[in-house]
Chains A and B, each alone.
Chain A
Amino acid sequence: MNTTRPTIGKYIWGMAASLIIFLAGGWLILAPFALGYQPYGADWVSQTTNSFVTGICVAVVALISFALFFSSLLRSLRVAGVLISPTRPVTQAPAPDQVQATMPLAPVQNQSDLDKTLATLAAALAADLNARRQTGSDQQSDQTQSMVNRSETK
């Protein structure tokens, strides 16, 4: 379903904007010295102070913005199941004949409604299959018992 498909375009867009603004902040820090309107060895003029302070603030906040978009991207990938959540409980691997029966008991926090419906259907089919197997084994044991009884009577 589309609800579990990761869409990372918006996060990449925000991260790219944050990166461009981070570079702009770095340029603002360097500009007074690169463009030469700050005299060498003299006290900083007001343009230099303004550019430097604004550049540092812009660069730091751009990094914070980048981190916010990046954490949103990671959260989206975890919800989609691409990345494994570190807090997710580790479940032991079930026996092969119990795989279908234990499916609904696994943590299904991020499953969609369709996944839950499919899991319930699979569990019902597994229960039905087990019931048929038990019935077949009972009949087989009855037949074996009757054969043993016949041989004893002979």
Chain B
Amino acid sequence: MSTRDAMRRLISPGSYVLFLFFLAGIWLTISPFAMTTQPSGSHWIASTINNVTIGAIMMVVSLLGILGYILFALRDMIRESEAKQADEQQASQLAE
């Protein structure tokens, strides 16, 4: 298996969309400060708390989704490789 095929199996089209969610989470987290809707030096208002919380959740969930997919795909590739090696050993033993 070439590196290109391995990368295609490790990163699905859905993973790219999850990365977009990660960027959206970053924007949600910083938006109250970037748009100056949060008064400087005062306690956080309700919209700031909401945006920061949802942004953090989106960043964490999207990262977990991407990493989880990669880990599962890596596990499948390792299992396939092990099964292929076992088949080749069995075939060589039968040939002998």
Contact = CB atoms under 8 A, between A and B. Distances in A.
Q: What class of interface size applies to chain B in its complex with A?
A: 35 or more
A35 B46 contact: yes
Contact of A10 (B57, B69, B80): B69
Contacts, number: 109
Given A17-B18, A21-B58, A58 B83 contact: no
Interface string A39-55: 00000011100110010
Contacts of A7: 72, 75-76
B40 to A, nearest CB: 16
Nearest to B24: A58
B21 A61 contact: yes
User: Main secondary structure on chain B at its contact with chain A?
Assistant: helix
A10 B27 contact: no
Given A2-B80, A54-B24, A61-B20, 7 more contacts: A1-B83, A17-B68, A45-B37, A47-B32, A68-B12, A68-B14, A68-B17
Interface of B: 12-15, 17-18, 20-21, 24, 27-28, 31-32, 35, 37, 45-47, 50-51, 54, 57-58, 61-62, 64-65, 68-69, 72-73, 75-76, 79-80, 82-84, 87
Interface of A: 1-3, 7, 9-10, 13-14, 16-18, 20-21, 24, 27-28, 31-32, 35-37, 45-47, 50-51, 54, 57-58, 61-62, 64-65, 68-69, 72, 113-114
